[in-house]
Amino acid sequence: MMRGRLPRPAAPRQPAPPAIAARILVLRDDALVLDKPAGLPVHRGPRGGASIEDWLEPLRMGKRHLPQPAHRLDADTAGCLVLGRTKPALAALGRAFAAGQVDKTYWAVVRGGPAEDAGVIDAPLHKVSSAARGWRMEVHPNGQRAVTRWRVLGRGPAMAWVELRPETGRTHQLRVHAAAQRWPMLGDPVYGDPGFGGLHLLARAIALPIDPPLAATAPVPPHMDAALRACGWDATAAP
């Protein structure tokens, strides 16, 4: 007769509440991708408040461990957020992000817009802070390397719809790079134009070369709909 611990019985899979389940773009045994709402931080701040951390228990769905975010996404940014559902998967996801192997595509609506149709921004960033303005990122020659590839997908009255593909993952990189080019993002309270119903930045798609590969595409959030339409986006033709 064998001695030792009995195997732990598998917990029954409980579905996530409908409001959260509706935000799941991809669900696998090892990982999931959420459509994170704009304005909801991934991690709970020092002052508390709502965050994606409040969703982790409902997203457990029978797993032994809570799912954990594999990367950062600004609170004001909507779209694809990847979470690992097992420790090995979370480690694999972390390695892919750390090695720069993740293909990330963002959509933004910016004021004005670039004169060209495509280009590369190679501008190092570092963090600055002051009592009056708090902390922010800025372009600085002594900062960390930051590279963003971009192309214009459409143009509207005094605005443009831009695809952004970061090659590095610096804090606020896309927002600062856009502002430094003098086409700040609509709704950016720090680097651009506040208002407009919120930051017009969407983590549109993500693809990771794990086994098996993981990919997801996020829908356009309501607060970006009107500006994107004005730039030529056709909601009926988009996934």
Residues annotated as part of the active site: 74
Interatomic CA distance for residues 42 and 72, integer angstroms: 7
Could you tell me which residues are beta bridge partners of residue 134? 130
Torsion of CA 65, 67, 72, 76, to 10 degrees: -130
Interatomic CA distance for residues 225 and 234, integer angstroms: 10
Whole-angstrom CA distances from 108 to 63, 138, 219 are 35, 19, 13
- Please report which helix (H) or strand (E) contains residue 226, including its range: helix 222-230
Interatomic CA distance for residues 203 and 156, integer angstroms: 21
At residue 158's C-alpha, the angle toward residues 155 and 159, to 5°, is 45
Whole-angstrom CA distances from 50 to 43, 54, 55, 124, 151 are 9, 7, 9, 32, 34
Q: Which amino acid appears at position 132 of this protein?
A: A
Whole-angstrom CA distances from 208 to 16, 33, 93, 144 are 24, 11, 8, 24
